[in-house]
Amino acid sequence: MNKQPGGKLPARSRKMEPRLRHNHGGSDRMLQDASAASIVVVAVMVFGLLITIAAYINVYYIPSWAEDAEAKHARNAFTDFSAIPGAINGLVLVNETNIMSKQRIELGGGDIPIISPVRSWGSLGAVPREGNFTVKADAWMVNIERNATSGELQKWGRVNIANISEAFSFYIDVYTESTAFLSNGELLINFTNQSGRVEIRSGKYRGDFCYLQISTWGGDGNKIVDGMCICKDAYPGPQGPEYYRIDLLNPCYGFSEVLRDADTPYNLTVIANHGGGTTPSGQRLFDYNITYNEYNKSLVHYSATSNGILIYESMNRYFLNQKFIYQNGAVFLCQPPDASMRTLPTIAIENTTNESARITIPMVTIGTGVNRTPMISGSGVEELQMKLERLSRVSFAEGNNTHNVHIIIEPPEGGENFRKDYLQEWVNYFTGMIQGTSVQMTQSGPVDYSSIDITLNGSIYLDIQDIYIEGRTSRISS
């Protein structure tokens, strides 16, 4: 099989040439397989890069975005919650127990569409019998008793009626049997401790059937009614007693206006005058019949407590958890252990006359009623419903009725540092309120900050509003 010089290749050698061409074709297919593998590797690398980017965004950006979204939701929720004092004040102003005030609050938020749709949660509702707010004072109280007096007024007779706080009926019967009275008789009703009076005099006789005239003066000395005729429907006959029944509280006589403007309590004196002569039945000229409230004062140890709070509490994933608390007119923003009074209550302290001060304290109790849902949790929009159940004023005497007012405040549930910060906000509030007034303030309390006793000293006219609000929650959406 050796190659011969100048000869041809052996047959076997010639047959091997095509096999070499076949090997070249196999090499092309190997190159194609390598290109496909490269594409797969690139795709895997790109996919891995995308995962890495997504993981990076999820770790470094989404928490920051979600935190910003939750912070925005917290601001919106606080804005809505801060409308609660205004809603309650509106119920008190209207003073209607059949009106419901509604405040909607979104409990959760912080979701990012597509990227992070999960929302935070929150709770909203009323917590009765928590956060006691107590006022104590040795004060002059008013005792009001229904009373009545009636009788006859003879010639030159008089009757004194003292300590009247409100008149419910005031009737004068004037007998006209006596010609002497018809010619110059009169009845005078005077305030004995301030201005204002009524005169009932004999008027025209027979000519136009006007037997009596009434005139009324106000407390400022101005005449309200001037000589108004009180006439019978028909000319009186000669037989039997003839008299007028005069309802002095009839608005047309102006005396009800005088009583309304009078300082309480007031005293009245009714005096009968005439120029002589007697009636056929004796000397009976006038009868009176008065029904009124008698006003008396007594020094008592007054103590009253309001309690109950309204609260919103967040359950965030990234942003700081917060509590919004309504207590007796004030709204607190709490990030335990910190607390800040953001909406001030409607407690008023202002100077009056003679180095004295008027202190007005609305005391708001929050209840839930019977079989009501006090708290609700979720992430949707829920509704807090509020209804006025009771509104009254404590019957303190007018003028300076006490020298010391003790205000004892208990904080809502929380740690010692939170209670300390919460109560200090109340102290700061009253410290600012007494500035520029004649009131002085001291404070004391237990070392565990379970309460604070703020004492206001001075010549004080205390005014207390007793308010009871029923609060409940209603689910709007989930």
Region 395-422: mean pLDDT is 94
Q: Would you state the structure tokens that stand for residue 344, as one six-digit string?
A: 């001030």
Q: What is the spatial distance between Cα 375 and Cα 473, in angstroms, rounded to a whole number?
A: 6
Specify whether the CB–CB gap between 231 and 252 falls below 8 A. no
Give the range among 59-73, 124-138, 385-399 with minimum mean pLDDT.
59-73
Is the pLDDT assigned to residue 329 strictly greater than 70? yes
Contacts of residue 198, Cβ cutoff 8 Å, sequence gap at least 6: 188, 189, 214, 215, 216, 217, 248, 253, 255, 258
Is the pLDDT assigned to residue 125 strictly greater than 80? yes
Q: What is the spatial distance between Cα 233 and Cα 236, in angstroms, rounded to a whole number?
A: 9
Q: What is the spatial distance between Cα 357 and Cα 369, in angstroms, rounded to a whole number?
A: 37
Give the model's confidence band at 87: pLDDT under 50 very low, under 70 low, under 90 confident, else very high: very high
Q: Could you give the angle at the alpha carbon of 162 between the alpha carbons of 260 and 264, nearest 5°?
A: 35
Amino acid residing at 454: I
Q: What is the pLDDT of residue 54?
A: 65
Q: How close are the terminal C-alpha atoms of the chain, in Å?
A: 96
Is the pLDDT assigned to residue 291 strictly greater than 70? yes
Amino acid residing at 329: G
Specify whether the CB–CB gap between 471 and 385 falls below 8 A. yes
Residue with tokens 């005139």: 215
Stated pTM of the model: 0.70
Q: Would you state the structure tokens that stand for residue 41, as one six-digit string?
A: 């590797």
More confident residue, 82 or 318: 82
Is the pLDDT assigned to residue 264 strictly greater than 60? yes
More confident residue, 195 or 403: 403
* pLDDT digit string, tens, across residues 9-43: 454 444 445 554 545 555 555 555 667 678 877 77
Q: What is the spatial distance between Cα 33 and Cα 123, in angstroms, rounded to a whole number?
A: 63
Q: What percent of the chain has pLDDT over 70?
A: 80
Q: What is the spatial distance between Cα 33 and Cα 318, in angstroms, rounded to a whole number?
A: 50
Give the model's confidence band at 232: pLDDT under 50 very low, under 70 low, under 90 confident, else very high: low
Is the pLDDT assigned to residue 189 strictly greater than 70? yes
Q: Would you state the structure tokens that stand for residue 138, as one six-digit string?
A: 């040795």
What does DSSP assign to residue 15?
H
Mean pLDDT of all residues in the chain? Answer: 84
Q: What is the spatial distance between Cα 350 and Cα 358, in angstroms, rounded to a whole number?
A: 5
Q: What is the spatial distance between Cα 331 and Cα 263, in angstroms, rounded to a whole number?
A: 38
Specify whether the CB–CB gap between 110 and 119 falls below 8 A. yes
Region 234-238: mean pLDDT is 46
Q: What is the spatial distance between Cα 238 and Cα 58, in angstroms, rounded to a whole number?
A: 109
Specify whether the CB–CB gap between 318 and 66 falls below 8 A. yes
Give the range among 90-99, 174-183, 245-254, 463-472 with minimum mean pLDDT.
174-183
How many Cβ atoms from other residues are within 10 Å of residue 368's Cβ?
Answer: 18
Q: What is the pLDDT of residue 452?
A: 98
More confident residue, 74 or 273: 74
* pLDDT digit string, tens, across residues 342-374: 999 999 999 998 789 999 999 999 998 777 778
Q: What is the pLDDT of residue 286?
A: 78
Three-state SS at 123:
strand
Buried b (16+ CB within 10 A) or exposed e, 435-474: eebbbebeeebeeebebbebbbebbbbbbbbebbbbbbbe
